[in-house]
Structure 1
Amino acid sequence: MQELINKIVFVGGKGGVGKSTSAAAIAWKSAKDGFKTLLVSTDPAHNLGDIFDKKIGGKVTSVTANLAALEIDPDIETEKYMKGVKENIKGIVHSRMVEEVHRQLDTAKASPGADEAALFDKLISIILEESECYDTIIIDTAPTGHTIRLLSLPELMGIWIEGMLQKRQKTNDNYTQLLNDGDPIDDPIYDVLKKRKERFSAAREILLNPEKTSFVFVLNPERLPILETKKALTLLDSYHLHVKTLIVNKTLPENPEGEFLRKRKEHEEKYVTMIEEYFVKQKLSYVPLFSNDISDMAELEKFGAYI
């Protein structure tokens, strides 16, 4: 398991496959090995508190001497994000337009992608600032579709901001020529965009560095999780984000008892073969189906031993 631990580890996968349990097990093992570890959940259906039997929430909470955890609430982060945008436009937008701009920003809060942008902004802060306080950060992400959009945002938003910067620069150049004094004009919006571009570039550099960041996907030996994982890995590859480790969770024992389980095992073996054919570049860790939920430290440690 030691080789899984990079500075940043993203754990993703389809909902219900055991993603949070896997992330918690990796974080628990990292902390036990003596590394100062932060476990972050971006999944709206947070259950880290259930796993550790401890209220966690939106502030970094100590779980053990070396392990802290944080559950990011997308609604709260979207509210903070929009508040920050409103602060940035103070002194930039004419006072008569402020109310209308605020109204449009409040409307934008409900638009598709607003929560993901806010969530990514929070993750950037954790990756760029909080990472100095920890040896490793394990990020338990939302189900696959959200994970893909989240991890592809640095490139997409970097391109968008670059386009905005070029437009602002062109506008500023035109104003300078119009004023005919040759002095460049101050543009606070340009400065804000430039700073955001620099933060996105720094985050992207970390995400693309395999010595700093690794990606782990969790799946079950079933058709839909396999197909969804295959699509996810192909898309992430196109953004140069390469997944090297897969956790195949909830596999049946080798010699199950009873006719039903034997037939189920035969069915499962077809999907295990499919997994091994589809994911030849990834390291596969098989975790058995446990008879009970992973709900305490002893069970979590048992789970982690298979990774």
Structure 2
Amino acid sequence: MRIGIVVDSACDLPPEWLEAAGIVLLPVTVRIGDAELVDLRDPQATLGFIQAHGERGHSAETAAFPADRIKSLFLDQLVIDYDYVFCLTVARSRSQIHDNAAHASYAILNEYRQPRSAAGHATPFSLRVIDSQQVFAGQGILPVEAVRLREAEASAPEIRSRLEFLAGRSYTYMVPRDLGYLRARTRHRGDRSVSLLAATLGGALDIKPILHCHQGETGPVGKVRGFEPAAQKLFDCAIERVREGLLTPTLCLSYGGELDVMRALPHYDRLIGTCREHGIEVFETVMSLSGMVNVGPGALTIGFAAPPHAFV
């Protein structure tokens, strides 16, 4: 069975890995004033756009790949190239992408027979849209696992069961660099989770919140004075989780800027060494453009799948 994998461009995985794995991308469009960029996970284009327009990033508008274009992509290409496709989306609670894909799936499954038959395929086509329940680096866990299972020749039902299991057990932790930016962005989106008092005190005292996403829910789990100590605490948490045992041999990192800056943060080397000792593959990438406009340049995120745990 030919199994295809689709993700949206908010998924923080290296573009070269996505291309090598044959993963199909649903792009997100970002507009800041009159400037617009379609996010195709090109790190240099992302960094250039942020450098040129980032001071107004908190007012950016993002547009999810629309349902009609998802339908066209499948009917023109994917129903011919594959027998079963997994569409893995950013958390439904944070974006319209999942609902657009789910809406398109009904039409796709009703209309695939003619183009598939014309291409010489008599067997049925199947599609499963899965809410990753994750954002940023945490969204990368499911595609990596799907590729591993596909390479191991697992069946589509086996892959589906495993991905749905992991979606509820994936975690993202994040440290924003600029709390004022994050507050401005959340206000623009109508999200009051970062209060004026927190933003003001955070700026005055250089307090950085550590934010957490699990099962589609986001919120703070800690706070540390200074970005570098907060990043160190994030890495230390990941080191502990790796030592305790992850549910997949995968750890994802994303950073809202040049990766060399992330690699110079305290305890980054310890984390990489610990992952190497425990057979954990590390994926590093520049954060997606849609991610960067939502949390601000310079943010650090880390994602993995693990048993329930407390952030300490």
Is TM more than 0.5 here?
Answer: no
Looking at secondary structure, tell me which structure has more helix per residue.
Answer: 1
Higher relative contact order (CA 8 A, sep 6+): 1
Q: Provide the TM-score with structure 2 as the length reference.
A: 0.32
Looking at secondary structure, tell me which structure has more strand per residue.
Answer: 2
Which entry has the higher C-alpha Rg, 1 or 2? 1
